[in-house]
Chains A and B, each alone.
Chain A
Amino acid sequence: MFETILYGFTIGAVLYLFSIGLSLTFGTMHIINFAHALVYTLGVYSFIGFRDALSLGFVPAMLIAVVAMVPLAWAIERFVIRRLYGERLDYAIIATYALLLIGTDLIKVVFGTLPQSINVPIHVSVNVAGVGISLYRIIIVLVAVLIFLGLRQFFRKTVVGQIVVAALEDNEGVRCLGINISTYFSIVFVIGSALAIIGGILYAPISTAEPYMGMHILLLAFSVVIVGGMGSLTGTFYASFALGMLMALVGRFWAGGANAAVFLTMALVIIYRHTIKPRLHRR
């Protein structure tokens, strides 16, 4: 049981790292960004590339992979996402999905379709109440929590963060102050991409690195973003861990039901928000 709970936290942590970017892009620009999954997958493959080409350790290879992907993330925002800004929702879905498909095929051409092996960098297990649990998983959870706390400070204390928070609420209000929000959206987009890559690399050793890894997590992350409230920074955090835990618990008893439980929760939340809650308020 202990292990199941830790597994739930681990999944939650990875979901959180992936979902922030998705949630912020939706909250600020009203764009559903399928290409987020591509950045995530490419990040993991570039990690593998740097690790092998330069014989680097886990952490240096991760940092280089994140930095190397920044220009790509920036370019996606600048040349694809920004053009879709203010357009219909489905244009953005089509364009970013196309990007994801093209990118995934490129990965298949370069690296092949077979799963890549990434070793768990830390093999220590910690003894908690007589049960040995993996230190590496605990580290993943801690990284996510630290990033959550760091982001909270960033959005509360820095001018850039406050501008983004303000834009999440009243985009036009920010523009009418004379602030060019697209600059700040680029920054947020790059941060979101970097965090997703960190999540992907941390998760890869305990899952499988393969060309479709981003697509799998993308669908779960959509549920996180919907359950947590699109553009809600704290909501995304709690929803990630709640759904991660749900997956772990359901998966323990019925492996095939883990994903379904997440989608069912999402459906219930949508039904609640759009059908039940408005009726309760009307009374």
Chain B
Amino acid sequence: MCTGGGGLAVIEVRDVSMGYNQALVLHDICLKVKQGEQVFIVGRNGAGKTSLLKTLAGLLKPHSGTVTFDGHDITGMPAEKVARRGLHFVAQDKVVFSSLSVRNNIALAAHAMKIDIDSAIRKAVEIYPKLEEFMELNAGNLSGGQREILLIGRAMIGDPKLLLIDEPTEGLAAKVIDDIFRILTSIKGTTSTIIVEQNLSVVTSLADRIYVMKEGKIIKEFDNKHACIEAAELEVYL
């Protein structure tokens, strides 16, 4: 059972278990994100971080437990409905629509959110001005870092009430990690986020709160409002 009571949460996950076949990969997950919070999830490979985000995004159905988002029960709701309610998800694999232009990648998000394309593009460029130069390029020609930025930009369209991002800095060079770091900093406080991240220096400098996952369970929660947690303290649990 989850501890802690109500309060104003954007998302509240209670006792969620999920498995791909018979065996569970998520066990009784409880977590909560408050309005404007930037929450990080850390954990080893295979801990179940991606499975958890996909479950929240509606791509996987939980076997038990409930997910309450923005005051509504969204347990088992399909991904497209979850997205339309304002919970957006950036997947781990950095897959963009590679045969469409960057502009059309953004245009599809605008179409889905029923927003006009120009203001959607302005929104994406606001997040990362250099995106402007790539607009007419096929998204398949972007580098890994540029793809991640496009994906985050695309997910920001429609002003999500909660943004889930799975390992945004994975496989990126230090310079690009700085760009991502700046973007995450710029949305901090306004957009509520759950970010899965392995780079502990990114985690400890940005996180309001940190959950540690191991073998499908949340084994530890840190309050990091004053950026007082050291990477070494987290490392112990990984």
- Given A162-B100, A166-B97, A169-B97, do A174 and B91 touch, yes or no (CB 8 Å)? no
Q: Which of A165, A169, A179 contacts B112 (CB 8 A)?
A: A179
Given A159-B111, A175-B79, CB of A170 within 8 Å of CB of B104? no
Residues in chain B near residue A170, CB distance under 8 A:
95-97
Interface residues on A, range: 10 to 19
| A176 and B83 within 8 A (CB) | yes
Across-interface contacts of A162 in B (CB, < 8 A): 97, 100, 104, 107-108
Q: How far is the CA of A159 from the CA of B111 in the complex (A)?
A: 8
Residues in A with CB closer than 8 Å to B89 are: 176
Q: A169-B97, A177-B83, A178-B80 are in contact. List 4 more A-B contacts (CB 8 A).
A: A165-B97, A166-B97, A169-B99, A173-B97
CB <8 Å contact, A166 and B100: yes
B-contacting residues of A (Cβ < 8 Å)? 159, 162-163, 165-166, 169-170, 172-181
**Which chain B residue shows the least CB distance to A175?**
B79
Residues of B37-71 at the interface with A, using a CB-CB cut-off of 8 Å, are 57-59
> What are 30 contact pairs spanning A and B, CB under 8 A?
A159-B111, A162-B104, A162-B107, A163-B108, A165-B97, A165-B100, A169-B97, A169-B98, A170-B95, A173-B95, A173-B96, A173-B97, A175-B58, A175-B79, A175-B80, A175-B83, A176-B79, A176-B80, A176-B155, A177-B80, A177-B109, A177-B154, A178-B113, A178-B158, A179-B80, A179-B108, A179-B111, A179-B112, A180-B80, A181-B80
B91 near A176: Cβ-Cβ < 8 Å: yes
Number of A-B contacts (CB under 8 A): 67
CA distance A174 to B83 in the complex (A): 10
Complex alpha-carbon distance, A175 and B108, angstroms = 11
Task: List which B82-105 residues lie within 8 A (CB) of chain A.
Answer: 83-84, 88-89, 91, 95-100, 104-105
Q: Interface size (B, Cβ < 8 Å)?
A: 29
The closest CB in chain B to the CB of A182 belongs to: B80
CA distance A176 to B109 in the complex (A): 9
Q: Is B78 an interface residue (CB 8 A)?
A: yes
For the complex formed, measure the closest distance between the CB of A161 and the CB atoms of chain B, giving whole angstroms.
Answer: 10
Given contacts A169-B98, A179-B80, A180-B80, contact A174 B108 (CB under 8 A): yes
Q: A159-B108, A159-B111, A181-B80 are in contact. Are A175 and B97 (CB under 8 A)?
A: no
A162 to B154, CA, bound (A): 15
Asked if A172 and B80 make an inter-chain contact with CB atoms under 8 angstroms apart, the answer reads no
Contact, CB under 8 Å: B109 / A175: no
What residues on B are CB-neighbors of A175 within 8 Å?
58-59, 78-80, 83
Q: Tell me if B99 and A165 are in contact (CB < 8 A).
A: yes
- The answer to whether A173 and B112 touch (CB under 8 A), given A165-B100, A178-B84, A181-B80, is no
Find the B residue at minimum CB distance from A179.
B112
CA distance A179 to B82 in the complex (A): 10
Query: What residues of chain B lie closer than 8 Å to A163, measured between beta carbons?
Result: 108, 111
Q: Report the separation of the CA atoms of residues A169 and B139 in the bound assembly, to the nearest whole angstrom.
A: 12
Question: When chains A and B are docked, how far (Å) is the Cα of A176 from the Cα of B154?
Answer: 11
**A178 vs B161: C-alpha distance in the bound complex, in angstroms?**
14
